[in-house]
Amino acid sequence: MPSFRVENVFECSESTFWEKVFFDAEYNRRLFYDELHFSEWRELEHKDEGERVHRFVKAQPPMGDLPGPLKAAIGDGAGYEERGVFVRATRRYDANVQPNRLSDKVTVTLIFRTEPLEGQRCRRIVDGTVVARVFLIGSMLEQRMVEDLRRSYEKSAAFTNRFLSEKGWQ
């Protein structure tokens, strides 16, 4: 069960990150389509209940070159659905990711949180776990998914700071 952590520093406060950036439609459109080159990223549900925000997303990331056994198992068009809940009091977003292929055998959980830093900056911390219960290729699939997630979060961090600068948000 591979777990991973990614930490990135953003040039904004925690409240700016959560209230102006993370759920912003323009930010997400540009991040997922322009920066990460997803063929699909749609927010199917967004319910703000004051203390909690529920979000349901359907997405299709680029697959890149896959080793033969992975390509045979998941094909070309693997996407996912993400169901997440943001709790304002704790500034934490918990998400369960359900792949559209091998969904009964692959589990991905993600926890996003932030911590304040000096000078109107914050650190985003993403803790994730990937479990693939697939005969012969489970560990290969887990490793590939963790690598893709890490790469994606690093690219998103650079984009986020450019977006913040462009908007003049702190």
Residue 110, pLDDT > 90, answer yes
Closest CA to 150 of 10, 9, 32, 3: 3
**120: alpha, beta or left? (left if phi > 0; alpha if psi -120 to 50):** left
Domain 3-167 -> CATH class: alpha beta
Query: What local confidence, expressed as pLDDT, does residue 66 receive?
Result: 64
Query: What local confidence, expressed as pLDDT, does residue 71 receive?
Result: 62
Residue 102, pLDDT > 90, answer no
Q: pTM score, two decimals?
A: 0.92
- Condensed to tens digits (0 to 9), the pLDDT of residues 46-95 reads 999 999 999 999 999 987 776 666 666 666 667 899 999 999 999 999 99
Domain range list for the chain: 3-167
Report the mean per-residue pLDDT for the chain. 92
CA distance 121 to 114: 10
Query: What local confidence, expressed as pLDDT, does residue 1 receive?
Result: 63
Which of residues 79 and 126 earns the better pLDDT score? 126
Mean pLDDT value across residues 29-45: 97
Helix/strand/coil percentages in the chain, nearest 5: 35, 40, 30
Q: What type of residue is 167?
A: K
